[in-house]
Structure 1
Amino acid sequence: MGLFIRPRMIAVFTTLLLAGCTADAAPIAAPVVSASASSASSGFGAAEEIATGIDVPWGMAFLPGGDTLITERQTGRVLRIRAGQEPVPVRTVPDVYFPRGDGGLLGLAISPQFDRDNLVYVYYTVAGAIRIGRFPLDSDDPVQVILEFEHGDNHSGGRLKFGPDGMLYATVGNGHDDAAAQDPANLNGKILRITPDGQPAPGNPFPGSAVWSYGHRNLEGIAWDAEGRMYASEFGEDTADEINLIEPGHNYGWPDVEGIGDTGNGRFTNPLVTFPTAEAGPSGIAVSGTTLYVAGLTGQRLITIPLLDGRLGEPAQHLQGVYGRLRTVEVAPDGALWLTTSNRQGRGGPREGDDRIIRFAPAGRG
């Protein structure tokens, strides 16, 4: 069974928990490849609450000068966080539509050329559509929409990140339209790869299309390892949440299969690892060294998985129930691990101070 740590004991046990150590933590998924604790990355120090009272934080990105930007899903605000200061609103994105489902202001990414162009990218829902836009930080210039397409009121995906190749990647849920996930001409149920100006990126598997991979139900996490391999987290429906190794043009099976579905004909690409849907609810993911970190919503836990040259080792679960639902996990430029909670969105019970942003310092440093 997984580890349960009482809140007053967090500082004592944080280094052990976040070291990727698998001791006393049985795997919660199959199939996996067994791995010893020595294959995990270095650990992290004690927890520090960076900000509290945030209205459902979702996207996170780090600015070159050391500040952090956070999106608030339900208000449409982008907040700037500086060490030791209260978060400051820097922009309210217009026309953000927060339906009964899981839309709103979601992903956030910083331009790879930020020192020159000062651009911040955002992913958000409007009535009947998804938009990806950009705006210059500390400016009154309007948000420039670089991509817009029709979308339903649920399964919005929302993660937005620049990849090692300088292209912009976006995870798009199927909008509760299962057939869309299997239609390469439809942008729903896909991972998209576009240029910083919003055009289909050169080298995409379907000429003239922004689609990078398809057959997805709802994805909220993407990350790359040191070798440039891309991983994505995906919510299942009744049986299996997934972590996938993403290959261009591959079909990941939804809605024909959930979890393991390749029968040997090569039509679908199987996940690297699956979790029972009640134990994970994988949202944001991040890579530090040779460990993949997964923020769990439904499971209210942080999951660590050793990276084994494109395969995944034995998952371990940490912080179970300590902070409630975890939405986003990111590794800061200084090596610290950041987490956000998602307890004020109407699922789960808010705690005093929610929602919060938590930082775990690199081991041995404050």
Structure 2
Amino acid sequence: MKPLATFATTLLLAATATPLLAQTPLPVLTTFPVGSATVSVSALTTGLAVPWELVWGPDNFIWMTERGGRISRVNPATGAVTPLLTLADVSTSSEGGLLGMALHPDFATSPYVYVVYNYTDNGTYLEKLVRLTYTNGTLGAPLVLLGSIPATSTHSGSRLLILPDRTLLISTGDAQQQPQAQNPASLNGKILRLNLDGTIPANNPTASSPVYTLGHRNPQGLVRSPAGRVYSSEHGPNNDDELNLIEPGRNYGWPNVEGLCDLPAEQTFCTQNNVREPLTVWTPTLGVAGLSYYSSPAIPGWQNHLLLVSLKGSRLTDLPLNAAGDAIASRTDYLTTFGRLRAICVSPQGRVYVGTSNQDGRGNPAATDDRILVLENRDFVVTATTGTAAAQLRLYPNPAQRTIMLELPAPTAAATVIVRDALGRTVRTTRFLAGQTRLTLSVEGLMPGLYSVQTGRSTQRLVVE
């Protein structure tokens, strides 16, 4: 492996070399309004094979899994796909294969990629969580952190989510063994929580158990809001797809409860078993899949909303949350003409990337499927007027976890940006070049808390989670 300092430098160079801003606009396939903004839809890349996960990486590339076993980096400016690794032991069967992925929050010093996938051992279909190491532009050194999870060709989950405390959530399906979702000794039908080395956190709801929540059927979306709430989307049977607020130690009802606790037997079970009702349900079902949280000002009408994509429903659904983050105020559907949608991620610039899933055996593929679509407000730009470092600095997302996007009306000279902690100590610096309007700054490694971001006479408050 490269020395970490060299790796960090390489990663930084890769990030800054990405032509995110000075790119030729992609042809627009369609547009739709979101409030006062017009959202354009374009195809970033085509000819994919069931993209399952899209993750915005610290190098400003999209990291992607495809169900057959391939992991790649996708240039968000050109759509070029750079394969990193094809996992030889991935076993695809119906819905099974290579599924969710997450990157270590401290990627520059801990270049680890976590993936979950199905495999076969002596004829038995199983699932496992594996940590890979990124070095010299490739992935390798697989380390199994959790294996031998019972699986079938359907109901495997599985999304991954790393929390700010450096623990990992992994969603598992019931593997068509419905009673196991209520069995606390089973790994199926759960959301599990592990340390990033695969050990069990001491403060899990049950000591020595990876089980974080139970009573799930097939959760295929998992996201955390800047306020700290965790949400999951979950497939129902022929009724009651769910959007859940995940709380440690809670029971989510399956198979005894479908959707809300609205039948007499369900009400009794919910009262006796600490069941957390979903925030909203869908009947008929949509086949809810990838879930993301939108915090950018680029599309104001989506700001601080959940965005959900679905397979059978073939749509993107906007789910505005109330101020407390514990109720869904309404539901609005978009993007209904591109077939099955499975994966979604949001860039720091506020672009939304969606992966189609029309090659998965259940869709009607177009000639260009599968593909990654990019949704953006092309009118969201900083006016290039003559300015100085005293011009108003903008930053987002705020609160932040990994990176922030800085915007400044183009200065006539270079402008230094200084990040200071609550004691006034400089903890980060970066620099706008003359004429540069946007840049990305990493806040990884900073302790959670309040910081100030200053350039010239402009100072903004920043919260790091």
Q: TM-score, normalised by structure 1?
A: 0.86
In 2, Cα distance between the equivalents of 1:234 and 1:182?
16
C-alpha spacing 1:43/1:269, structure 2 compared with 1 (3 Å): farther
Tell me by how many angstroms 1:202 deviates: 3.1
Q: CA deviation at 1:256?
A: 0.6
User: How far 1:362 moved relative to its partner?
Assistant: 4.5
Report deviation, 1:145: 1.1
Question: Residue 53 of structure 2: SS of its match in structure 1?
Answer: strand
Change (3 A) 1:257 1:362: same
Residue matched to 1:155 = 155
Write the distance in 2 (CA, Å) between the matches of 1:9 and 1:67: 22
Structure 1 letter corresponding to 2:144: V
In the aligned structure 2, how far is the partner of 1:199 from the partner of 1:232? 23
Corresponding letter in the other structure for 1:318:
Y
Unaligned stretches of 5+ residues in structure 2: 1-26, 296-303, 382-465
Q: CA RMSD in A?
A: 1.9
Change (3 A) 1:363 1:250: farther
Instruction: For 1:1-366, list aligned pairs within 5 A.
Output: 10-11=30-31, 13=32, 16=33, 19=34, 45-74=39-68, 76-82=69-75, 83-100=77-94, 102-127=95-120, 128-137=125-134, 138-139=137-138, 141-153=140-152, 154-261=154-261, 263=267, 265=271, 267=273, 268-278=275-285, 280-289=286-295, 290-308=304-322, 309=324, 310-320=326-336, 322-362=337-377, 364-365=379-380
Aligned 8 A contact 1:237 1:277 in 2: no
Matched letter for residue 158 of structure 2: G
- Separation of aligned partners in 2, 1:53 and 1:9: 17
**CA–CA distance in 2 between the matches of 1:328 and 1:143?**
24
Quick check: 1:224–1:230 contact (8 Å CA) kept in 2?
yes
- Three-state SS of the structure 1 residue aligned to 2:180 is helix
Task: Confirm or deny: 8 A CA contact 1:340 1:356 kept in the other structure.
Answer: yes
Distance in 2, matches of 1:183 and 1:213, equals: 11
Identical-residue share of aligned pairs (%) = 36
Say which SS state the counterpart of residue 55 (structure 1) adopts.
coil
Question: In the alignment, is the contact (CA less than 8 A) between 2:128 and 2:149 conserved in 1?
Answer: no
CA separation of 1:43 and 1:243: change in aligned 2, threshold 3 A: farther
Q: What displacement does 1:150 show?
A: 2.8
Mean Cα deviation higher: 198-207 or 102-111: 198-207
Q: Does the 8 A contact of 2:112 with 2:131 survive in 1? A: yes
Distance 2:131 2:219 in 1: 21
Change beyond 3 A, Cα 1:9–1:51? closer
* SS of residue paired to 1:185: coil
Once the two structures are superposed, what CA deviation does each residue of 1:49-69 show, in whole Å capped at 9, x if it has no partner? Answer: 111010000012122121111
Amino acid at match of 2:365: P
TM-score when scaled to structure 2? Answer: 0.68
Q: Which has the higher contact order (CA 8 A, sep 6+)?
A: 1
Look at both structures and tell me which one has the larger radius of gyration over its CA atoms.
2
Relative to structure 1, is the Cα distance of residues 362 and 167 closer, same or farther in structure 2, using a 3 angstrom cutoff? farther
Structure 1: where are the runs of 5+ without partners?
1-6, 22-41
Q: How far 1:45 moved relative to its partner?
A: 3.3
**Distance of aligned partners of 1:174 and 1:43 in 2 relative to their CA distance in 1, 3 Å threshold:** farther
Aligned partner of residue 317 in structure 2, secondary structure: strand
